[in-house]
Copies of this chain bind each other. A is one copy, B any other.
Amino acid sequence: MSREVKSDIEIAQACEMVKIKEIIEDLQIKEDEWEPHGHYKGKLSLDLMNRLSEQKDGKIILVTAINPTPAGEGKSTVTVGLGQALNRIGKKTMIALREPSLGPTMGIKGGAAGGGYSQVVPMEDINLHFTGDIHAITTAHNALAAMIDNHIHRGNQLDLDVRRVTWKRVLDMNDRSLRHVNIGLGGPLHGVPRESGFDITVASEIMAILCLATDLKDLKARLSRIVIGYNSKQEPVTVEELEAQGALTLLLKEAIKPNLVQTLENTPALIHGGPFANIAHGCNSVIATKLAAKLGDYVVTEAGFGADLGAEKFLNIKMRAGNIDPSLVVIVATIRALKMHGGVPKDELKKPDVEAMKKGLSNLEKHVESIRAFGLPHVVAINRFVHDSEEEIAVLKKWCEDKGIEVELANVWEYGGEGGTDLAEKVVKVIDESENHFKPLYDLEASIEKKIETIAKTVYGASGVTFTKEASKQLQDFKTNGWERLPVCMAKSQYSLSDDPAKLGRPEGFTITVRELKISNGAGFIVALTGNIMTMPGLPARPAAMNMDVDESGKATGLF
């Protein structure tokens, strides 16, 4: 079974894709229920969802992971590989993934479409403009910004306090120089001067909204509720008051349709939406997940970062918005990353170190406990890397078995679906044999403080939560504004269970400090910020863009 080692882009470019039309036909989708975007991408219409509404839902498998480290976990790779493997063992399976943001691609080489022999294709398209969804979000977001500043310039009837306009602008670009800007300069013909800034598009509330909306009507209702800032009485001002919701919905009417592509083994994959996993909820769209569940008997999908952020938000926020029931959670770990959690520095990961790995297992253990707290069946997937020793694998397996944790090796990077059939069999078996007592962790009727405390204690293992003076004041304001019944979206470091990125493994005896609350009223959640969260990345000293090229025939190089 040994193969020569190729780069991701070489594997992807050598792949025999089938025309997307063939996949459409296999899925029994009618001609007026989809639109081609090139020969290998399609957009599925929302009418298809309506036609299938009475159909039984497939089983939803959420792929999450331990806290990410520079060693890499390969969550997308396992998601794609498991989807391919389920198809190989005869289960009709769909994959649902987030769409990658173009901006970061310019900074650091590497795509976000799986890896090795478990990738979605066409990978160049997926990592560049794809079907234009993110561009549509950029446009809608900035159209709203232009309307806000035009409103102020034209007399400011809504009495917006220019110091309290919270709606910024966005670009799908890593551009640190736009984080803090002064706009409206140059004199009275050119707007009203004020401070503002740019985020990267995937941090736009509109991205979160698109991913939580269930149809066009819900999309418009959510857009209407966006809070753009506060008036001089410090009351919130919404998009509806600006009469912008119709135009914004119009600008998003194609972007709301999920995108169909395929994996290297021609397994159908819906790739749709990709909100930030800190200030937003970090999962592909509700529409894509629900549609995948209508089209497949099994759906493999993923959530951003580790289980403390991605899975928690998937299970507390996305599931509620979409009224979807998950069947099982796969928790991905790698021997390498466990060793890092156990204290091994990055350049020594190739050396076997059973003791360090055992120490790092505390991180995995905490995530297993969290998923158990949600009442969900789960399987640990060991994503195999070349340098993993047999002893390390054996110890890890034994540790799981001793604790009654289902575990399976996956070698999908090297062997594609073939390397994931054991995991697939295990997943199917556990779904069939386990009881599912899924329940969100907190009640929406609970106070904001209580919701945050529940997450911090149950998921992070914190001893408590502190609110800064500013955050405490905001708690009061949010209650006054009637926002208390919304779920909470935690913005926390992804590297640690705590709010200190340096604390690897399973930190104990720590408290979480909430320093600021933000309202995402359209998305329908309260963002609780702990630590500094970067919503506009920068480029490195030598951006990956400097190595990119395309030859005269249109073939890309330097992308991955």
Contacts and interface: CB of A to CB of B under 8 A. Distances in A.
Contacts of A153: 176-177, 538
A142 B546 contact: no
A136 interface: yes
Nearest to A102: B139
Contact of A550 (B150, B174, B182, B216): B216
Interface in A17-40: 31, 35-39
Interface in A509-560: 538-539, 541, 543, 545-554, 556, 558-559
Interface in A202-252: 215-217, 220, 243-244, 246-247, 249-251
The interface centre, meaning the residue of A102, A192, A550, A556 with most chain B CB atoms within 10 A of its CB, is A550
Interface stretch (A183-191, A330-338, A482-490): A183-191
B145 A175 contact: yes
Interface stretch (A82-90, A127-135, A344-352, A368-376): A127-135
A452 B185 CA distance: 33
Given A135-B132, A139-B173, A185-B180, A244 B149 contact: no
Contacts of A46: 554
Contact of A250 (B38, B135, B559): B559
Contacts of A181: 181-183, 185
Contact of A154 (B186, B217, B243, B541): B541
Interface in A160-186: 169, 171-186
Nearest to A191: B177
The interface centre, meaning the residue of A146, A174, A543, A553 with most chain B CB atoms within 10 A of its CB, is A146
A253 interface: yes
A106 interface: yes
A15 interface: no
Contacts of A253: 550, 554, 556
Contacts of A559: 250
A465 interface: no
A143 B173 contact: yes
Contact of A546 (B31, B38, B247, B541): B247
A175 B129 contact: no
Contacts of A216: 550-554
Interface residues on chain A, size class: 35 or more
B146 A539 contact: yes
Contact of A39 (B35, B243, B549): B35
Nearest to A179: B190
Contact of A36 (B36, B180, B244): B36
A446 interface: no
Given A150-B538, A182-B182, A246 B558 contact: yes
A160 B250 CA distance: 42
A395 interface: no
Given A132-B132, A139-B102, A146 B177 contact: yes
Nearest to A146: B175
A147 interface: yes
Given A182-B185, A253-B550, A543 B246 contact: no
A254 interface: yes
Contact of A552 (B37, B150, B192, B215): B215
A38 B36 CA distance: 5
Given A106-B146, A181-B185, A251 B35 contact: no
A510 B154 CA distance: 37
Contacts of A142: 171, 173, 175
A180 B191 CA distance: 9
A38 B257 CA distance: 12
A506 to B, nearest CB: 31
B246 A550 contact: yes
Nearest to A128: B251
Given A183-B178, A190-B177, A539-B146, A246 B132 contact: no
Interface in A112-161: 128-129, 132, 135-136, 138-139, 142-143, 145-147, 149-150, 153-154
20 contacts: A35-B38, A35-B39, A37-B38, A128-B251, A138-B138, A139-B172, A146-B173, A146-B174, A149-B177, A150-B538, A153-B176, A153-B177, A178-B183, A181-B182, A216-B551, A217-B552, A246-B545, A246-B547, A246-B558, A250-B550
6 cross-chain pairs, A with B, having the tightest CB-CB distances, nearest first: A180-B186, A177-B191, A246-B549, A247-B545, A135-B135, A149-B177
Interface of A: 31, 35-39, 43, 46, 102, 106, 128-129, 132, 135-136, 138-139, 142-143, 145-147, 149-150, 153-154, 169, 171-186, 189-192, 215-217, 220, 243-244, 246-247, 249-251, 253-254, 538-539, 541, 543, 545-554, 556, 558-559
Given A129-B132, A250-B549, 19 more contacts: A35-B37, A38-B43, A102-B139, A129-B139, A132-B132, A135-B139, A142-B171, A143-B173, A145-B175, A147-B539, A150-B539, A150-B543, A179-B190, A180-B184, A180-B186, A191-B538, A246-B550, A247-B548, A253-B554
